[in-house]
Homo-oligomer: A and B are copies of this chain.
Amino acid sequence: MTYAIIGTGAIGGYYGALLARSGQPVHFLLHSDYEYVRTHGLQIDSCDGSFHLDHVNAYNDTAAMPPVDVALVCLKSINNHLLPALLRPFAQQPVPPLVVLIQNGIGLEADLEQQLPGIPLAAGLAFICSAKSAPGRINHQCYGHINFGNYSCHDSSIMDRLVDDFTNAGVKAGLVDYAEARWEKAVWNMPFNGMTVALNTQTNMLLQQPDTRRLIREQMMEVITTAQHLGVNNINEDFAELMLSMTDEMTPYSPSMKLDYDYHRPMEIHYLYSRPLQIARQIGHPMPRLEMLEAELRFLEQQCQH
């Protein structure tokens, strides 16, 4: 299939370069690195083997991009207000592409569906440590597997081909239930992203201290019981224990929101906190600890701007 990469950063640059290397036609939307990458290509420094993509189909405007089968949205979700305009040219294709949101959070697909009705949507859940280290240069540190969850694509064969293309590109990929996958990821993301910012620490310190370990577990249970109220029944208390012991095994880790905060970049508070909290309130199952964390993050973000 042909691909558009909407946002050629740590995630989009990595997966797009792998797909291109494996022979798929890939078209990259760039912003600040457009001139550099058009001239010099993309360098992927990877734990799985580094490589350079000499020729990159680079664009700085989606209106100039050709029709594609799949658009991978790899922007930070703080930029999602730009998506309707960015995706409009693709939405006007005779057969619009599958749009895959490789982003963290809850409610992303529902919001985009409102803005671009009828466009087929899927979620991409990436488990990857990757960062942009310089213009046109991605540093892929570890992991990299990705799961896809079909949100509104009626042609399920496209989902299968998506998994095949990623697999052929050397990425461990699979199909998962959309709601289950998004909420499972939120079980880890909602406690750890915010708490490492609020307490200026890393995952391991939060788990070593009994009080914060208990708090993290309670926050996980707020997410799990909300998901259960929404009919996502395959996530239960065991999943919280699994996430805790999995995180115990990880090296001390700063989640993406902690890095954003430390580097004075905007934090993804809206889709990581505000939207799921809104959904939880709507079904009459508020999450008080995560609401408190949201308030603390909004306060810290505002302080940071002064």
Q: Which residues of A contact B (CB under 8 A)?
A: 198-199, 201, 205-206, 209, 211-212, 214-215, 218, 288-289, 291-296, 298-300, 302-303
Contacts and interface: CB of A to CB of B under 8 A. Distances in A.
Contact of A209 (B209, B214, B294, B302): B302
B201 A292 contact: no
Contacts of A214: 295
B211 A294 contact: yes
Name, among A218, A291, A292, A302, the residue most crowded by chain B CB atoms within 10 Å (CB to CB): A292
> For the complex formed by this chain, how many copies does it contain in all?
2
Contacts of A212: 295-296, 298-299
A303 B201 contact: yes
Contacts of A289: 288-289, 291-292
Contacts of A291: 215, 218, 289
Contacts of A199: 296, 299-300, 303
Contact of A211 (B205, B211, B288, B299): B299
28 contacts: A198-B198, A198-B296, A199-B296, A199-B299, A199-B300, A201-B299, A201-B303, A205-B299, A205-B303, A209-B298, A209-B299, A211-B295, A211-B299, A212-B295, A212-B299, A215-B291, A215-B292, A215-B295, A218-B288, A218-B292, A288-B288, A288-B289, A288-B292, A289-B289, A289-B291, A289-B292, A292-B292, A292-B293
B198 A298 contact: no
Nearest to A199: B299
Contacts of A215: 291-292, 295-296
A289 to B, nearest CB: 5
Given A199-B300, A211-B294, 19 more contacts: A199-B296, A201-B303, A205-B299, A205-B303, A209-B298, A209-B299, A211-B299, A212-B295, A212-B296, A212-B298, A215-B291, A218-B288, A218-B291, A218-B292, A288-B288, A288-B289, A288-B292, A289-B289, A289-B291
Contacts of A205: 299, 303
A249 B3 CA distance: 59
Contacts of A292: 215, 218, 288-289, 292-293
A203 B66 CA distance: 55
Smallest CB-CB A-B distances: 10 pairs:
A211-B295, A215-B295, A211-B298, A288-B288, A212-B299, A289-B292, A209-B299, A212-B295, A199-B299, A292-B292
A212 to B, nearest CB: 5
Contacts of A288: 218, 288-289, 292
A273 to B, nearest CB: 10
A71 to B, nearest CB: 34
Contacts of A295: 211-212, 214-215
A298 B212 CA distance: 8
Contacts of A293: 292
